[in-house]
Amino acid sequence: MVELLLVVGLAVTVFVGYNVGGSTTGPAFGPAVGAGVLSKVAAAALMSVFFFIGAGTLGRRVVDTLGKELVTRGDVFTLETSIVVLFFIGGALFVGNYYGVPASTSMTAVGAIAGLGVATGSLDWSVMGEIAVWWIVAPIIGFWVSGVIGRYFYPRINQWVAIDTTDGPLLEYERSGTIPRPTLGPNTTRREVGGAVTVVAIGCLMAFSSGTSNIANAIAPLVGAGVVDMNPMILLGSAAVAVGAFTIARRTLDTLGNDITDLPLTAAIVVAVVSSGIVVGLSAIGIPASFVIIATMSIVGLGWGRATRTATVGQGIRGEAETNVSVGALKADEPGDEPEGIGEEDPADIPAAADLFNPSTTARIVVLQNVVPLLSTLGALVAFGLLFRFVW
């Protein structure tokens, strides 16, 4: 019976890891895919490698946090309860992935474990409170830092990097030999190559950060129950993440890279630097980061900052400025065409384009990024409340 339950537990772990790969690949490499730097297959491959590196190094600490510290009673995590927790984590994440919305794996996992803790009276409220406070603060920081950069500093950053995409492919492959040899595209500039390398490198950093934080969401319950060792579970969880990155992550890559906005490379780099910096900072203090929401709010914040650059601060506060939030707000202008400060650019010069925030996409993201963790938390709370009352 124990062996059968263990097989079920491992299967649910794989299911959770699969959905983690689907949820986190979009925020890490969505900007690079949306900017045309990477294909979805290449993004999935890089996600798989760097997620495993992060999981095998710093991810061990977060596994201990979720598996041992969040719930105070050691006897709460059993093989049976771990399977139920993983079921709610994987099921809730699957809902978000099915609709193409990359929900926060950390919030979903912590919510399920917190539901177990509340139902059994073993939740460490001080640990939970610290995590929850950072979940609120971090996306706000991401939005405003990106907004300030978009409003005040984006023109100068664009002058420094000048990495607008050109027509045609970034790379082509010479297939005359046995092994295809990559070469620059016909219109590719050296600056564009430098920008592409930068945004891919930052995406790899975000994948690494995701591994440090999100491997725990798939394996912490079973490791905390003491039924399996950590090392083989890291291998199993990382493999499941790779499968998710190559399959269901295509939906979240579309959402983060294309549906929200058309990101030029300059904007993609800004978003990646801000969001990855916040995630690394939270990982350093042992907080399982809301990776997805931070990245999403950074994208929205940058778009808002760029859209309001034609208004002065006073006009914005008094509501006197009419803001046209469009894809043009994120389009990188030619170096030298941008003003060095705000309030100096004619709104008519902003390129006319489709709205930055597609209403249906924005609504779907806002709703499901809150509904998915709520499903996990309430589902676990109700299930464990009934199970411990009538079964255990």
The answer on pLDDT for 192 being more than 80 is no
Question: What is the arithmetic mean of pLDDT over 385-390?
Answer: 72
pLDDT at 231 (0 to 100): 92
Q: Give dist(CA 323, CA 309) in Å, integer.
A: 9
Q: Which amino acid is at 148?
A: V
pLDDT at 364 (0 to 100): 63
The DSSP secondary-structure symbol of 57 reads T
Question: What is the arithmetic mean of pLDDT over 42-60?
Answer: 92
**pLDDT tens, residue by residue, 324-356:** 444 444 554 444 444 444 333 444 434 333 444
Reduced to 3 states (helix: H, G, I; strand: E, B; else coil), residue 20 is helix
Q: Give dist(CA 69, CA 84) in Å, integer.
A: 19
Q: In this structure, are residues 269 and 199 in contact, taking their beta carbons and an 8 Å threshold?
A: yes
**How many Cβ atoms are within 10 Å of 196's Cβ, its own excluded?**
23
Question: What is the arithmetic mean of pLDDT over 143-152?
Answer: 90
Question: What is the arithmetic mean of pLDDT over 144-148?
Answer: 92
Question: What is the arithmetic mean of pLDDT over 49-61?
Answer: 90
The answer on pLDDT for 303 being more than 50 is yes
Q: At a CB cut-off of 8 Å and minimum separation 6, what does 335 contact?
A: 158, 159, 162
Q: At a CB cut-off of 8 Å and minimum separation 6, what does 121 contact?
A: none
The answer on pLDDT for 374 being more than 70 is yes
Give the pair of three-digit tokens for residue 119.
């139902």
pLDDT at 358 (0 to 100): 52
The answer on pLDDT for 132 being more than 80 is yes
Would the CA dihedral through 352, 144, 142, 163 be positive or negative?
positive
Rounded mean pLDDT of the chain?
76
Angle between helices 40-56 and 230-246 (to 10 degrees): 170
Q: What is the DSSP string of 302-322?
A: HHHHHHTTTS-HHHHHHT-SP
The DSSP secondary-structure symbol of 337 reads T
**pLDDT tens, residue by residue, 219-236:** 988 888 888 899 999 999
Q: Which amino acid is at 325?
A: V
> In this structure, are strands 171-174 and 181-184 parallel, antiparallel, or unpaired?
antiparallel
Beta-bridge partner residues of 71: 123
Q: Give dist(CA 171, CA 355) in Å, integer.
A: 30
pLDDT at 264 (0 to 100): 64
Instruction: Give this prediction's pTM.
Output: 0.71
The pLDDT > 90 percentage for the chain reads 12
Among the ranges given (36-50, 221-235, 274-288), the one the predictor scored with the smallest mean pLDDT: 274-288
Q: Give dist(CA 359, CA 80) in Å, integer.
A: 42
Question: What is the arithmetic mean of pLDDT over 108-114?
Answer: 88
